[in-house]
Amino acid sequence: LTSIRAEESVVGDSFPLLRSENGGNLGSKPWTRLTELDLRHNQLTSIHQTIRSAINLTKLILSHNLLKSLHPSLRHCESLVHVELQHNNLWNPTEVSVFLPNVTSLDISNNQFVSVWELAALKNLLSLDVGFNKLGHWSDLSHLSESCLSIRNVTFRGNPMCEPTRIFGGDVNKLGCSVFRSQTEILVNGVARVMDDKQSQSLLMKYAH
């Protein structure tokens, strides 16, 4: 067994690896051969410590659940590089950076984060989606661009810092995907504008506060 998908499943006692709001459990023994685990849409409220057994896990999908925090046992999943945590109630970026140190692709959109500068500790990060949180400061993204030298894609649409402003003489009502190491695309009056690395860095510094 190397892959498990239990989307919208009835959580029972046969797999107490994770726990759900209704008291059910997932997982009863170590899953050392498991490489992918997909448990989206399961009303999970916590992660059980036995996930530490999944030492070869590379992909973890826990989106669309009720998680408010991550479990320290995730640190034992040293092979974990792809993590999807969107549509939960997570708020602590330090947990993410400490418990998922080797992640390269991270989606924490649609949560409750007010800051993400702590994610600068994720030195292997290539792709990050922090859209639709409560981020209010451009300085967080500037810090990420300076510290995460491998990062290529950052999506931050839907945050308070993306409220309408004036850039290039136009009203910007949606900031899309920022590619720090090559080019940045934003929407100005509904028209995509592409900037090179120097322009994108200038933009971040201009609006960092």
> What pLDDT digit, counting tens, does each position of 84-129 carry?
999 999 999 999 999 999 999 999 999 999 999 999 999 999 999 9
What's the rounded Cα separation, in Å, for the pair 74 and 53?
Answer: 9
Whether the pLDDT of residue 38 is over 80: the answer is yes
Whether the pLDDT of residue 10 is over 70: the answer is no
Model pLDDT, residue 30? 62
Cβ distance 125 to 119 under 8 Å?
yes
Whether the pLDDT of residue 19 is over 80: the answer is no
Most confident of 4-18, 29-43, 51-65: 51-65
What's the rounded Cα separation, in Å, for the pair 125 and 101?
Answer: 9
Percent of the chain with pLDDT over 70: 64
What's the rounded Cα separation, in Å, for the pair 71 and 88?
Answer: 14
Model pLDDT, residue 198? 54
> What pLDDT digit, counting tens, does each position of 177-198 carry?
343 333 444 444 344 444 455 5
Confidence of residue 72 (pLDDT cuts 50, 70, 90): very high
3-state SS, residue 19: strand
Confidence of residue 48 (pLDDT cuts 50, 70, 90): confident
Report phi then psi at 135, rounded to 5.
-75, 130
Model pLDDT, residue 29? 55
pTM: 0.75
What's the rounded Cα separation, in Å, for the pair 170 and 205?
Answer: 19
